Structure 1
Amino acid sequence: MAKGEETRQFIIEKAAPIFNTKGIAATSMSDIMEATKLSKGSMYVHFENKEVLACAAVDHNMKVLGNKLHSELAKSKTAKAELFAYIDFFSNPVHPPVIGGCPLLNFGTEADDTNPIVKEKVNSGIKYNQQLLGSIIKKGIEKGEFKPDWNAEDFATVMFAMMEGGHLISRMSGNNEKMQVITKTLKNLIEENTI
């Protein structure tokens, strides 16, 4: 990696948790300069403005989250275990796998009416997660783990929405009590559809 690319990546890695914690609007280039110890001129050599850096930070946060998630899912031997691993991975929003919490929820809430580029990135992430869950269920149906009439797409939508809602409730309340209710409910629904 060339020196310029290394510096650019360094800036993204330092900026990503700040944007995910404070939000795009509340994060200033001064915040990033303080975290990186780089001058304003150095920052603008690599990113023409805050919006370009914010988009790179969104991508980075989602990539980090996705890599951690896939690492956990890869340990599972069955489709049911994969679904449970997905649930467990997101079951502690008070201490999330990515600094600042779920980037889909954080950036999606902020960008839905204000930033069409970030909105599309988040929408793609949402679709990806729903397709991932749906494909795990379909794989389980094909292998005879799950009931053949289980609607994979519908459950994937419900599961994703419940997990994101639980994340919001937990972050706002400062505890995981409601997320525990959601994870238990989802696991029971999966058990009901297990052969």
Structure 2
Amino acid sequence: MSTKAERTTKYIIETVAPIFNKHGYVGTSMSHLTEATGLTKGAIYGNFENKEALALAAFEYNRNIILQKVDDLLNVEGTALDKINSIINFYRQYDVFTLSMGGCPILNIGVDAQHNNSLLAAANKETIKEIEGKIALVLENGVNANEIKIPVPPLQFSKQLYTILQGAVAMGTMTRDRKYLMNTMAYLEQLISREIRK
């Protein structure tokens, strides 16, 4: 059973994660945090060393939600192609999935942290590499099982696929137009059916 301190820490992270994601590291003020949690500055920082530690914990909370979802999608029954298609299909609704998080944490924190928080930027970069690696492993297993053939090495294909997915997220976010997600996923389905062959 968790202690009161552990429950408080968990509550703070879950509450402030969408705030940091939406407003960024610099843009998130102490008043944002105290208002959302109903706790004093002292109570918040009694659980975290400083704002940077709290921002990092908030990002890790959001990234773990994304990573768990990617794992679930890549572990569906079927061939490598079925698994890749499950990721593509999910990205049609990615904006809806990340709405409660304040948007895509990989996009938001990735851009925000570039010039003002090297720890957050590094954690974000590691998350991107982790997702690309998970997709690459599915592709590699599919090639080895003779389910698919791809025109380039699995990691290269995975990086290109993830670039297109996140590009659609970025454009959809900036324009507030869901068609970027819908149209890009339709295009990717066609591309995958041509590029990944049995």
Task: Identify the TM-score tier after normalising by the shorter chain.
Answer: over 0.9
Alpha-carbon contact 1:12-1:60 (below 8 Å) kept? yes
Which residue of 2 is the match for residue 171 of structure 1? 173
1:52 aligns with 2:53: yes
Which residue of 2 is the match for residue 6 of structure 1? 7
Q: Distance in 2 between matches of 1:55 and 1:153?
A: 27
Instruction: State the 4+ residue runs in structure 1 displaced beyond 4 angstroms.
Output: none
Which piece of structure 1 moves more, 174-183 or 51-60? Answer: 174-183
Alpha-carbon contact 1:76-1:85 (below 8 Å) kept? no
The residue correspondences of 1:6-155 to structure 2 (distance < 5 A) are 6-97=7-98, 99-147=101-149, 149-155=151-157
Which piece of structure 1 moves more, 141-150 or 1-10? Answer: 141-150
> Which secondary structure does the structure 2 equivalent of 1:107 belong to?
helix
Q: 1:49 to 1:138 in 2, by over 3 A?
A: same
1:194 aligns with 2:197: yes
Q: Distance in 2 between matches of 1:19 and 1:7?
A: 18
Summarize deviations over 1:112-138 as a string: whole Å, max 9, x none.
Answer: 122110111011011111111111111
Q: 1:175 to 1:94 in 2, by over 3 A?
A: farther
Q: TM-score, normalised by structure 1?
A: 0.92
- CA shift, 1:93, in A, is 4.2
> Which secondary structure does the structure 1 equivalent of 2:97 belong to?
coil
Q: Distance in 1 between matches of 2:171 and 2:94?
A: 9
Q: 1:5 to 1:136 in 2, by over 3 A?
A: same
Q: TM-score, normalised by structure 2?
A: 0.91
Which piece of structure 1 moves more, 25-34 or 117-126? Answer: 25-34
> Which secondary structure does the structure 2 equivalent of 1:24 belong to?
helix
Q: Can you give the 5+ residue segments of structure 2 that lack an aligned partner in the other structure?
A: none
Return the structure number with greater helix share.
2
Q: 1:21 to 1:101 in 2, by over 3 A?
A: same
Alpha-carbon contact 1:69-1:89 (below 8 Å) kept? no
> Which secondary structure does the structure 2 equivalent of 1:46 belong to?
coil
Summarize deviations over 1:58-103 as a string: whole Å, max 9, x none.
Answer: 1111011111232233333221111111112222344233522221
Count residues in correspondence.
195
Q: Distance in 2 between matches of 1:23 and 1:115?
A: 10
Q: 1:150 to 1:9 in 2, by over 3 A?
A: same
Q: Distance in 2 between matches of 1:149 and 1:10?
A: 47
- CA shift, 1:146, in A, is 0.6
Q: Distance in 2 between matches of 1:63 and 1:184?
A: 27
Alpha-carbon contact 1:93-1:170 (below 8 Å) kept? no
Alpha-carbon contact 1:133-1:156 (below 8 Å) kept? yes
> Which secondary structure does the structure 2 equivalent of 1:95 belong to?
helix
Alpha-carbon contact 1:130-1:156 (below 8 Å) kept? yes
- CA shift, 1:52, in A, is 1.2
